[in-house]
């Protein structure tokens, strides 16, 4: 860490020590999980080391968490299980393993996610629960195993199956991305994009110049399923199923069954996550109380100007491609 970064962290830490509201302080402890310096650095990076802006961002995050009861969201399972299975089958996200440096590898099936089995609020709840489980369970466990702070992850985005119909999902994707940008900043070390179809390549040329330089440096668009490049940073066992051989695609249906498909509710990661949330619900509430049905309604933050411009441009590009295909 440079001298300037150390000074910025010192200033931001002093400002955070002045926070008196106990609910905000408790939420802050949930965020940093015993590693406040790394957390302060994340917020500083997100605001180009402007201490004032970073302080405001962190306080806004804590306010959002307390107002929306994010600190207790891991006590609110999505029930019945059939509903949760539908969400897992249409919001394709999972933990496929760990990198050689011990970072969690998060796989995302962008192209085949349909978001059509539940309301927007359920999908947002599920996304936040995975974020919180990652930050409060997965990363602390990786930290303990590695003997050093593990505070970020790798993400592999599978674009196979991406179609123009994805245009209808842009509003939800904007909401989820904005929640992450404002409240879980700098949690991803590198984004690997694989199985890229023409529609993505066409849009990427327009979107890439709009991204911040810091973000662009994190993104790697790989050839094919990306297996050869990914094996430089992780073992074969940690590769998502859609990266294990050329032409395999982003399988919802794969030959080795659900146990190899990290998107499936039957995968060990999702089984552990769902069991954890149900157990936390029992710990919090009376033993004879039924688990409450219904989604958690979280206030959706307004996207930043940059984010709005990117998604507006993406929407425009999808519409152009649609018109070109009709001609």
The pLDDT of residue 260: 84
The pLDDT of residue 248: 44
The pLDDT of residue 321: 63
The pLDDT of residue 290: 52
Residue 86 burial by Cβ neighbours in a 10 Å radius (0-12, 13-18, 19+)? middle
Q: Specify the 3-state DSSP secondary structure of 299.
A: coil
Contact 262, 95 (CB under 8 A): yes
Q: Between helices 51-67 and 3-17, what is the axis angle to 10°?
A: 40
Band of the pLDDT at 251, cuts 50, 70, 90? very low
Band of the pLDDT at 255, cuts 50, 70, 90? very low
The pLDDT of residue 250: 46
Q: Which of 62-71, 79-88, 302-311 has the lowest mean pLDDT?
A: 302-311
For domain 3-68, the CATH architecture is Orthogonal Bundle (1.10)
CATH superfamily of 75-246+257-278: CRAL-TRIO lipid binding domain (3.40.525.10)
The pLDDT of residue 209: 83
pLDDT tens by residue, 220-246: 999 999 999 999 999 999 999 999 865
The pLDDT of residue 303: 67
Query: What does the alpha-carbon distance between residue 76 and residue 273 come to, in Å, rounded to a whole number?
Result: 12
Residue 254 has pLDDT above 50, yes or no: no
Distances (CA, A) of 137 to 21, 24, 32, 130: 25, 21, 12, 10
pTM to 2 decimal places: 0.89
Query: What does the alpha-carbon distance between residue 262 and residue 117 come to, in Å, rounded to a whole number?
Result: 19
Per domain, the residue ranges of the chain are 3-68, 75-246+257-278
Calculate the average pLDDT of the chain. Answer: 88
The pLDDT of residue 133: 98
pLDDT tens by residue, 191-230: 999 999 888 887 788 888 878 888 899 999 999 999 999 9
Higher pLDDT, 50 or 163: 50
Non-local CB neighbours of 117 within 8 Å, separated by 6+ positions: 83, 86, 87, 89, 90
pLDDT tens by residue, 73-113: 999 999 999 999 999 999 999 999 999 999 999 999 999 99
Band of the pLDDT at 306, cuts 50, 70, 90? low
The pLDDT of residue 27: 97
Residue 28 has pLDDT above 90, yes or no: yes
Q: Between helices 22-32 and 36-46, what is the axis angle to 10°?
A: 90
Residue 327 has pLDDT above 50, yes or no: no
């Amino acid at each position: 860490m440079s001298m300037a970064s150390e000074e910025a962290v010192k200033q931001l830490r002093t400002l955070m020590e002045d926070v008196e509201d106990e609910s905000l302080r408790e939420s802050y402890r949930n965020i940093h999980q015993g590693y406040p310096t790394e957390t302060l650095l994340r917020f500083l990076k997100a605001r180009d080391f402007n201490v004032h802006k970073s302080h405001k961002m962190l306080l806004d995050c804590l306010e959002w968490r307390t107002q929306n009861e994010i600190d207790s969201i891991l006590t609110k399972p999505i029930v019945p299980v059939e509903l949760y299975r539908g969400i897992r089958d249409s919001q394709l996200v999972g933990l496929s393993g760990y990198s050689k440096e011990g970072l969690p590898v998060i796989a995302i099936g962008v192209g085949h996610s349909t978001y059509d089995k539940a309301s927007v609020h359920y999908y947002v709840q599920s996304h936040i629960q995975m974020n919180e489980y990652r930050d409060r369970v997965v990363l602390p466990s990786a930290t303990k195993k590695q003997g050093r702070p593990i505070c970020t992850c790798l993400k592999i985005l599978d674009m196979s199956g991406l179609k123009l119909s994805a245009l209808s999902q842009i509003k939800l994707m904007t909401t989820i991305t904005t929640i992450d940008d404002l409240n879980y900043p700098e949690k991803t070390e590198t984004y690997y994009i694989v199985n890229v179809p023409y529609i993505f390549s066409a849009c990427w040329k327009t979107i890439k110049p709009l991204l911040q330089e810091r973000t662009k440096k994190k993104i790697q668009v790989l050839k094919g399923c990306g297996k050869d490049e990914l094996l430089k940073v992780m073992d074969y066992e940690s590769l998502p199923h859609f990266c294990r051989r050329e032409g395999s695609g982003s399988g919802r249906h794969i030959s080795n069954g659900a146990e190899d498909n990290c998107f499936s509710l039957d995968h060990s990661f999702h089984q552990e996550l769902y069991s954890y949330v149900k157990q936390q619900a029992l710990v919090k509430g009376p033993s004879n109380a039924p688990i409450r049905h219904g989604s958690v309604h979280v206030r959706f933050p307004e996207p930043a100007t940059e984010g709005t411009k990117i998604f507006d441009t993406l929407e425009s590009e999808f519409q152009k491609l649609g018109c070109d295909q009709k001609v």
